[in-house]
């Protein structure tokens, strides 16, 4: 009986890795051994950065809200506290979008937050 070496399966596995390494520089795209390392490391970066992306966007939203709140004579923390007191439940993503695209709407929300702060004080 002839010995089986798994040629078709090995070829398919190599082809899969080389395809995943498409666009890489030098041997990383064509040499199987280096392509395996490059693809594995790329996967680690992708996994890590899917989580970091969430942190980065939240920080960006907070910066945008802070800038818009300061145009309405409030700090970010005062603005968020005022929203809580006024029972306005908008998340930071929506608030940041309003701050960038609809300044008038954001100003109206900021006025409500300021009024709620004055009432509480």
**pLDDT tens sequence for the chain (121 residues):** 788 888 999 999 999 999 999 999 999 999 999 999 999 999 999 999 999 999 999 999 999 999 999 999 999 999 999 999 999 999 999 999 999 999 999 999 999 999 999 998 7
Reported pTM: 0.81
> By the 8 A CB rule, do 93 and 107 touch?
no
Specify the pLDDT at position 77.
Answer: 97
pLDDT at 4: 80
99 with 60: CB under 8 angstroms?
no
pLDDT at 2 (0 to 100): 82
CATH topology of domain 8-120: c-terminal domain of poly(a) binding protein (1.10.1900)
Closest CA to 119 of 84, 68, 77, 71: 84
Asked if 62 contacts 92 with a C-beta cutoff of 8 angstroms, the reply is yes
Report the pLDDT value the prediction gives residue 120, as an integer from 0 to 100. Answer: 86
The predicted pLDDT at position 80 comes to: 97
């Amino acid at each position: 009986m002839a010995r089986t070496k798994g040629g078709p399966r090995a070829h398919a596995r190599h082809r899969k890795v080389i395809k995943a390494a498409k666009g890489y520089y030098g041997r990383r795209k064509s040499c199987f051994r280096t392509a395996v390392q490059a693809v594995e490391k790329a996967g680690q970066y992708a996994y890590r950065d899917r989580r970091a992306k969430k942190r980065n966007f939240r920080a960006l939203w907070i910066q945008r809200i802070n800038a818009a709140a300061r145009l309405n004579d409030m700090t970010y923390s005062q603005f968020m506290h005022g929203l809580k007191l006024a029972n306005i439940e908008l998340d930071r993503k929506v608030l940041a979008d309003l701050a960038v695209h609809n300044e008038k709407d954001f100003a109206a929300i900021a006025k409500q937050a300021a009024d709620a702060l004055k009432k509480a004080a």
